[in-house]
Amino acid sequence: MLGQYKEPGGKLVAADLDVTDGVLSRVSISGDFFLEPDWVLETINQALLGLPVNVDAAGIVSRLEGLLPPETVMSGVSVSAIAVAVRRALGNSLAWEDLTFDLIPPRTLPPVLHVALDEVLAGRVGAGLRAPQLRFWDWDTPCVVIGSFQSVRGEVDEEAAARLGIAVVRRGTGGGAMFMEPGNCITFSLVVPGELVEGLSYAQSYRYLDDWVLAALAELGVAATYQPLNDIASPAGKIAGAAQRRLADGTVLHHVTMAYDIDQGKMAQVLRIGREKLSDKGTPSAAKRVDPLRSQTGLSRAAVIAHFMKSFAGRYACHDSDYTDSELAEARELVRNKFDTARWRYRVP
């Protein structure tokens, strides 16, 4: 039984093991990582012996952390990476290559309907009614989409927003506000089973789920890097921010918004971005926080999206897909009863 895992920016770790009577009876951890002292590898193998086949990643991490000597130095690998490799060997954790994705191109819809579709589609993936998916948004009206736990008053100048015809929508995931006008940014939602990020912390899963888009940006000549907790940046400035929600059944909804061609002056009028939020961004004002993708790629927004879709489909198995009538109907009902109500919008005034 063989399982492999490679952390973004790390090295490959493999778990080769046997199971007898429901417990690990032989374990061999290997890979191109670095480990000192070298005899610690055998300590790791011995520590994993006897663990039950249904052990979760947290149990593996706990076992290793409790038995590794204090002088252990790991480079390119971690105890959580070993745990994921073991879980994959046991068939309890998935790799990207184990999945086939529905790939949904941009379709112009009201922003609030896209927010509702996130909830509908994640629920269907969790229920086994939909394949994992990557879908791109397109929208017909300007808005500010705020995070689930943000204060409307704290984030948005509602008087300025009303004057400029910009609606306020609250999504179901955490994270920060998204200033969205038609054509000004690129937003996509990724829905995957929880087994794909099993054993990873929230911080680790953000980087893991964004790894493909960092590669796609590199193909366009953009030197993008992951910036904890949920940003993608380049030497020229911040490119994108991500948000994530894990459903009760483990299904992960992960979405990213990238700046393409934002009217930064208008954004600064509508969003209340204070000094505290900017304190660790290295920028003196909101107008300089977001660096548009157009200036870095020289491509149209449609061309960038087409490249992202092609790059994703080149890495993973995909089927072309679209929304069904029943999914759109369910999302519209959610808009009426939840996402377009004052009760939801002002759940944090």
Give the CATH number of the domain where residue 248 resides. Answer: 3.30.930.10
Considering the domain architecture, whether residues 161 and 196 belong to the same structural domain is answered as: yes
Considering the domain architecture, whether residues 128 and 269 belong to the same structural domain is answered as: yes
Question: Which pLDDT band holds residue 201 (cuts at 50, 70, 90)?
Answer: confident
Considering the domain architecture, whether residues 28 and 129 belong to the same structural domain is answered as: no
- The string of pLDDT tens digits covering residues 29-52 is 999 999 999 999 999 999 999 999
Q: At what angle do helices 57-67 and 40-48 cross, to 10 degrees?
A: 140
The DSSP result for 145-204, as a single string, is EE-TT--HHHHB-HHHHHHTT-EEEE-SS-S--EEE-TTSEEEEEEEE-GGGSTT--HHH
Considering the domain architecture, whether residues 132 and 232 belong to the same structural domain is answered as: yes
What pTM does this model have?
0.88
Which amino acid would we find at residue 91? G
Considering the domain architecture, whether residues 113 and 80 belong to the same structural domain is answered as: no
Considering the domain architecture, whether residues 114 and 164 belong to the same structural domain is answered as: yes
Question: Which pLDDT band holds residue 238 (cuts at 50, 70, 90)?
Answer: confident
Considering the domain architecture, whether residues 135 and 227 belong to the same structural domain is answered as: yes
Question: Which pLDDT band holds residue 264 (cuts at 50, 70, 90)?
Answer: confident
Q: What's the mean pLDDT when you consider all of the chain? A: 93
Considering the domain architecture, whether residues 70 and 200 belong to the same structural domain is answered as: no
Question: What CATH number is attached to the domain comprising 74?
Answer: 3.30.390.50
Choose the final residue of a domain: 89, 121, 153: 89
Domain that holds residue 272: 97-345
Q: Is the pLDDT of residue 283 over 70?
A: no
Q: By C-alpha distance, which of 238, 242, 243, 241 is closest to 286?
A: 238
Q: Is the pLDDT of residue 143 over 70?
A: yes
Choose the final residue of a domain: 39, 55, 89: 89
Considering the domain architecture, whether residues 83 and 105 belong to the same structural domain is answered as: no
Q: By C-alpha distance, which of 27, 32, 72 is closest to 47?
A: 27
pLDDT computed for residue 237 by the predictor: 83
pLDDT computed for residue 43 by the predictor: 97
Greatest mean pLDDT range, 8-12, 57-61, 110-114: 110-114
